[in-house]
Amino acid sequence: MTGHDIKYDTGPDTGPDAGPNAVHDAGHDAGHHAVPVRTNMLVWAALMVLTAITVSVTSFDFGFLNVVVALTVATTKAGLVILWFMHLRYEGRVIRLMVFTAFFILAIAIGFTFFDVAYR
Amino acid sequence: MHEHRDYEGAKIGMWLFLFTEVLLFGGLFLLYAVYLHRYPAEFHAAGKDLSRIFGTANTIVLISSSLCMALAISALQRGKVLLSQRLVLLTVAMAGVFLVNKFFEWSAKIGHGIYPNSPGLLALPPGEMVFFNLYYLMTGLHGIHVIIGGAVLLYGWRLMRAGRVTPEHFVFLENGGLYWHLVDLVWIYLFPLFYLVV
């Protein structure tokens, strides 16, 4: 049995002997889009601004709202990192659905725990 | 020898692993949230004892290292291998800066007699004790992830030098980058919850 027999099950051949289209196919197959430098810089700048906001907002006392603001800013930052730095924007449906499901389940875990804790 | 490659599968596998990390830290964040709910005043008092300067500096370092990693992947995709190698090394260097900062921060706390099971910690009110125990547990676990992430990226750099991570086949570096961004992601929540808790 050789490894050659199974390669047809898994999409375009991107091995060393795949010919001149290999690079293109590899890129196409895996959904690789090089994110422009400018985009990465803008995401970084947005993350810096949000960090400045979350630090400066602590000098005001909104009571309970401070935690809400801190978590909202953190979640916005997390979204930027996941969508652009982790390339989720550029991934196919399968990975996007997986990531959504995982965070949805985490939200259920946290939410349901608070139904318990908050009404004890 | 013909090497079998499956980029989609490799990335799905990496994401699945990252979900286990999310659940690992998610459980600890849940613990934090429940204790914050029970001891808001004590968490507020204890949070003031942490250095906001160190926390903010490390946030800037880690977010910038994530940028470097994202730029390294983009550079490699465009065929700029040398630039990509340098950006990966810069990312690893920033991981080092983060850990050095963390070392000084922990040293200062330990110097003040605040560390797990220390007499100074045991004398504190229960809420503050919980806060500092969670602080050491969560930043410590995160620190281990920084060390592992840095090592993985350094290995990716070696693979690039050896010509085994190339502009055509770079899924190892891409997955290493995903891990690194997750480390950044965890810190994005750790920072406001411990250093800015009000």
Which residue in B26, B185, B191 is closest to A109 by CB distance?
A: B26
Residues A25 and A59 reside in one and the same domain: no
Q: What is the model's pLDDT at position B5?
A: 82
Average pLDDT over residues B79-92: 97
**pLDDT > 70 fraction of chain B, expressed in percent and rounded:** 98
Which ranges constitute the DSSP H helices of B78-117? 81-111
Average pLDDT over residues A56-75: 88
Q: What is the model's pLDDT at position A119?
A: 85
Q: Mean pLDDT of all residues in chain A? A: 79
Residues A101 and A65 reside in one and the same domain: yes
Do residue B34 and residue A117 have CB atoms under 8 angstroms apart? yes
Radius of gyration of chain A (CA): 22
Q: What is the model's pLDDT at position A17?
A: 42
Range of the domain at A13: 1-32
pTM: 0.88
Residues A46 and A101 reside in one and the same domain: yes
Average pLDDT over residues B3-31: 93
B112, B91 contact by CB (below 8 A): no
How confident is the model over B116-160, as pLDDT tens digits? 999 999 999 999 999 999 999 999 999 999 999 999 999 999 999
Q: Which two tokens stand for residue B119?
A: 């007499």
What sign has the CA pseudo-torsion B160, B163, B167, B168?
negative
Mind listing the domains of chain B with CATH numbers?
7-195 (1.20.120.80)
Confidence band (pLDDT; 50, 70, 90) for A12?
A: very low
Listed in sequence order, the residues at least 6 apart from B82 whose beta carbon sits closer than 8 Å to its beta carbon are none
How confident is the model over B143-152, as pLDDT tens digits? 999 999 999 9
- H or E element that contains B23: helix B7-38
How confident is the model over B46-66, as pLDDT tens digits? 999 999 999 999 999 999 999
Q: Quote the minimal CA–CA distance from A40 to chain B in Å.
A: 7
Confidence band (pLDDT; 50, 70, 90) for A32?
A: low
Q: Which two tokens stand for residue B164?
A: 């085994």
| Closest residue on chain A to B58 (Cα) | A51
Q: Which two tokens stand for residue B48?
A: 């003031």
Instruction: Indicate which of A4, A55, A66, A83 best probes the interface with B, i.e. most B CBs within 10 Å of its own CB.
Output: A55
- H or E element that contains A78: helix A65-80
Residues A59 and A111 reside in one and the same domain: yes
Q: What is the model's pLDDT at position B151?
A: 98
What sign has the CA pseudo-torsion A110, A112, A114, A116?
negative
Residues A105 and A49 reside in one and the same domain: yes
Residues A49 and A97 reside in one and the same domain: yes
A74, B184 contact by CB (below 8 A): no
Evaluate if residue A7 carries a pLDDT over 70: no
Q: How far apart are CA A16 and CA B82, in angstroms?
A: 22
Nearest to residue B131, comparing CAs of B38, B46, B56, B41?
A: B46
Evaluate if residue B109 carries a pLDDT over 90: yes
Residues A41 and A93 reside in one and the same domain: yes
Residues A12 and A40 reside in one and the same domain: no
Do residue A113 and residue B60 have CB atoms under 8 angstroms apart? no
Contact residues on chain A for B67, CB-CB shorter than 8 A: 40-41, 43-44, 85
Complex ipTM > 0.90? yes
Residues A39 and A73 reside in one and the same domain: yes
Which residue in B33, B59, B78 is closest to A110 by CB distance?
A: B33
The separation between CA A78 and the C-alpha centre of its own chain, rounded to angstroms, equals 8
Q: What is the model's pLDDT at position A96?
A: 96
Q: What is the model's pLDDT at position B145?
A: 98
Residues A23 and A52 reside in one and the same domain: no
Judged by average pLDDT, the poorest of A1-5, B25-29, B94-98, B102-106 is: A1-5
Interface size, chain A vs chain B, as Cβ–Cβ contacts under 8 Å: 146
The reply to whether B193 touches chain A by the CB within 8 Å rule is: yes
Residues A19 and A46 reside in one and the same domain: no
B121, B162 contact by CB (below 8 A): no
B47, B194 contact by CB (below 8 A): yes
The reply to whether B44 touches chain A by the CB within 8 Å rule is: no
Average pLDDT over residues A38-53: 97
Residues A12 and A64 reside in one and the same domain: no
Judged by average pLDDT, the poorest of A60-74, B25-39, B121-135 is: A60-74
Into how many domains does chain A fold?
A: 2
